A and B are shown apart, each in its own frame.
Chain A
Amino acid sequence: MSVAVAELAASLHQIMDSDPGLLVLGPDVGAYGGRFRATRGLFETYGASRVIDLDPTPVTLVGVAVGLSQADMTPVVELEGPASLAQAASIIASEPGVGRLVLRVPTITSARADALERVRGEGHAASFSAIEGAMVVCASAHSPPSRLLEAAAARDGVTVIIEPTGLYRTPLASSSATQLGTAQVVRDGADLTLMGWGETLEVLVAAAAALASDGVHAKVIDVRCLHPLDVVTLGKVVRDSGRALVAHAAGAEALAAQVAHAAQRESFLSLEAPIETLVVEPGRESVQAVVDAATRALHY
């Protein structure tokens, strides 16, 4: 069993081997191996022409990547953080002929100030709606960054992968290939649907386990694709259970409301209770908050 960041580096090696037109760009991605060591060893193997240290300014970094993409190359960019996303979207949206392009966005989620980062990260998923074919996905323990990267490098168009850095040191069980663009059932259950993405999923899985001890079987869904939403799956799972709630980190209220709205629109006649959204942070208190919200929905 290896940690997520090591798997990410291994995936990068693999896809660079199979695609000679794939380049890795970003601040310190070269000899240093990246801020989070995700590009470790690439520089030594592929050299400075394919692993390129560039200024972290998004206008430079994303601009160069766009130019490469227009020339049929596959740039994989490690952005400095989600603060760059809005500007990245603006640059890509104004450019014609952008082909395959992957933006990896490490998002620090362990400090108090991170709520603001999330506002800029997940909250900016909608910024990419102006770009035809663009997709914004969020990694989780069930959709590891390495698998998302492999899928993104194989698809045409712009893919943004939000990578909560808390996942990087998480040991991963073996995972199969990931299909981008779809939501994923993480745990099955028929009484209630708990929806989330990124690190909030662990809270939902713990809450589902707590509910199971009281005889309530909750389904847990990894929304995973934040733009465009997989409304078919979201609608189906909510129709099946009739009750749902959306958990999200602070700062992603608009996105959570969008998920709730999409699920509600697809399942309106089957709903037994309104779909609630709630802010959760990793920890026991949040697990209890989810259990309480689930109980409210069950007794509505």
Chain B
Amino acid sequence: MRKNIVITGAGIVSAIGCSKGEVTRSLLERRTGIGEMQYLESVHHELPVGEVKMSSEEMKRRLGIDAAKEVSRTVLMGMMAVEQALKEARVERKDGRRILLVSGTTVGGMDLTERYYGSFFESDEHLDCMKTHDCGSSTQQIAERFRLFDDSTTLSTACSSSANALMLGARLIETGQADIVVAGGTEALTRFHLNGFNALMILDRQQCRPFDATRAGLNLGEGAAYVVLESETAARERGAEIQAWFSGSGNACDAFHQTASSDNGEGACLAMKEALESAGLSPKDIDYVNAHGTGTPNNDLSEGVALQRVFGTEMPPVSSTKSFTGHATSASGSIETVICLLAMQQGFIPANLGWQHPIEGGITPTLGQEGCRLRHIMCNSFGFGGNDTSLILSAEAPLGRKETVANEERTVEVAARVEITDEAALTEIKNYVKPMEARRLGRILKSALLSSLKALEEAGVETPDAIITATSLGCLENSVQLLNQLRDEGEQGLKPTWFMQSTHNTIGSAVAIHTGCHGYNATYTHGEDSLKWALADAEMLIRSGRARSVLVGLHDETTPEFCDIMSRLGKRDLKPLHSIAMVLTCGE
């Protein structure tokens, strides 16, 4: 029988509170955490944000960290939320169990990088911050604090990162690779992504109004949330309190556009259907949907269509709690999962604040309910590149949960492998990609697409069942160009194309869009271990019969600025460009 996965602890740090109690009160009192920025050092005070109401200095004080030590706000918030979750689940010692931390982030240590970027080229004073710039090192710093974790990894699929961290955590327990997984995500507000979203013109200058006809964009937020996942049997054995069952999850790719959702919400629809199927539930079983609901014209229209496709005439109450927290990007999935958990435990449906006018043909969100019994809740998280994930929490053990037993007789074979290390090889992209598509691709995207398409060709696979990407620094060239632009020109007119191609999952989504792959899509960004995790994930998919062909890629690049900084930190011989694309297939 398939293992039931349960949640035995949760921690949350958000614009509406830094504990489960505070968040519950804000939700019930309908108090939004969105307002004028107090902590982010930006000129854009006209843009409301959902900040965590605490300075980084205060966070360090609470965590007992030396005030003089430079620690990213992403890491500080992550530590606070993980601490709460572990405490609640009463996981204090290893006791021979294998305990992992799985975290989602995209911004990582960017808050410190952007603060000191200009100084890196003048002195070595703040150079050490670059050691903790990448996403993986944020997770490692959080893990090290607790001296409890056997290993950790980082997922970065933009705004669905932490939802995918939860999904992976559950799969690691199901397949016996971990006994306990602390899963979630963390993301601090930065000038970098505030200006990036501003360049994409999807930020509302007023309070966001998800699913309202007059909605004009999202408000960025920040925060962290983690849950403790373990098998129901193990939880019962150690006498842990079961807060909810993690009963289903689905991951699909819209494969449509880097920053927009398709009109028919295909990716969202597939993710929700898969989540229902894996939980063994039908649409009528869902008592509440916590929507992705960012408040952008595009997301809310597309998600509404997808919800209507999945639920038809049996639409449960739907709300977006981003009207409380702002859009905490990578952390939003786990923040909203914890909000769903609170709703289930306290028996209420959170309001969709600010909604007044229905979208023509769209869905009507709930303005909140109290005193209700919620048995099954769906939580949606969709990311740039169409990385769509849907999770289901249940108040009782799911009976019809789909059995996907790993079959040891299924072997994993490498059907093709293509490596690119030379920029000159990229001219060949013209044979695979139309000039209008190729013109805006950065170097790493060309290299990723070219290696992937050649590997698929070699393996005789047109569209793989899944795409898994490993990258330690992602689209570094575009990120450095944006940092240079912020340093030289200030906070105005960032180049939209660069920002659109600066998230780590741009790489995997570009391949999905090109090959029309709507299947599972994930990106690991955990330093040198990124590829190890991507391969382990691919193996899980193939052995469980979920995929017969998986495209796995390792893609990284450096820039002269970055090489200069890293060589001063003692790290030399970085390759300017490196792509490995492999097609793994099932060889029963």
Do A and B originate from a single complex? no
